[in-house]
Amino acid sequence: MAEFLASMDNYAPIIPDAVTDYYLNKSGFDCDDVRIKRLLALATQKFVADIATDAFQFCKVRQSGNRKSGKERKTVLTMEDLTAALADYGVNIKKPDYYS
């Protein structure tokens, strides 16, 4: 574990340190160790990537059922795909009633 944390010194996550600091401070997390903050940013990056991958899979399944011709269509990620992917992780989202 110590070796992994030492490697976090040179790692630059996709989520910038300033963004990580902002949201960690907003949630009440106070830590001066940059390695721990980068480790949390890496975990967040993995979570978002997993959701995006799952949403893409839902999109591919949905579009494979809608293909009527042999033409290749662009992949279009919809809110329904994202909602289904987030539901697998226990996150429930829905549109407000006035958008229905």
Q: How wide is the angle at C-alpha 88 spanned by C-alphas 29 and 92, nearest 5°?
A: 65
Phi-psi bin for 97: left (phi > 0), alpha (psi -120 to 50), beta?
alpha
pLDDT tens profile 12-56: 889 998 999 999 999 999 989 888 898 899 999 999 999 999 999
- What single letter denotes the amino acid at residue 51? I
Q: What is the mean pLDDT of residues 78-93?
A: 92
Please, what CATH class does the domain formed by 1-89 belong to? Answer: mainly alpha
| Mean pLDDT of the chain, nearest integer | 87
Cα–Cα distances (Å) from 64 to 29, 51, 73, 79, in that order, read 44, 20, 10, 17
pTM: 0.77
Instruction: Compare 10 and 87 and report the one with higher pLDDT.
Output: 87
Sorted by where each begins, the domain ranges of the chain are: 1-89
pLDDT at 76: 86
| R_g (Cα) of the chain, nearest Å | 19
